[in-house]
Amino acid sequence: MSADEADSRATSASSEERTHENARQHVVAVDGDDNEEGTVNRLDAHTGDGIRHRAFTALVFDGEGRILLAQRSPEKRLWDTHWDGTVASHPVQGQTQKEATRQRLEEELGITPDQYDDLRVTDKFEYKRYYPNEGVEWEVCAVLKLTLDDLSMDPVEEEVAGMLWVDYDHLHQHPKWYRQLRLCPWFEIAMRRDFD
């Protein structure tokens, strides 16, 4: 391949990245103590060495202590087809973690606020993980929990490839038994901290 062809391919790839849905969104940049430092382009925050930003993971339980794992869509740029517990995303500027969680639960799974009444923030941690050849997550991540009174849901295929109810204690005690699920790193951290 000539140098001109390589340049042309690089320009094309860069153009495709810029038209990706994430390039049209912004996340809240934060310091290590989760103090806001303005907004940054979501794609920029997740490429190269990344930009630290605010995020959340929401763990959804039933009344028997099972957690709902949701498999990320194969269309996701990062950690596609990995299993998350249950949704993860980023609040927009001016949005609380609880507001963002309610929004994503409804958008991804069709779970509405009348199905639970105990949404709460239980933890917060910073982590940084690279996804080979694709990008990085560098987040101050809040952990939220809730228990569903009504288990009905309507998952959106573009967001969720599969769902699985798992005994939370068993998952933590026997991680090797669930290795084939390929859990998202932020969920693994949240679960480990939950039991420490």
Sequence-distant (6+) residues with CB within 8 A of 73 are 80, 81, 157, 158, 159, 160, 161
From 87, 111, 84, 104, select the one nearest 166 (Cα to Cα). 84
139, 158, 159, 188: which is the annotated catalytic residue? 139
Q: How far apart are CA 139 and CA 144, in angstroms?
A: 15
- Is 17 designated active site? no
In angstroms, the Cα distances linking 15 to 18, 19, 20, 23, 181 are 5, 6, 9, 11, 33
In angstroms, the Cα distances linking 127 to 32, 75, 140, 162, 165 are 10, 23, 7, 26, 26
End-to-end CA distance of the chain: 53
Active site residues: 139
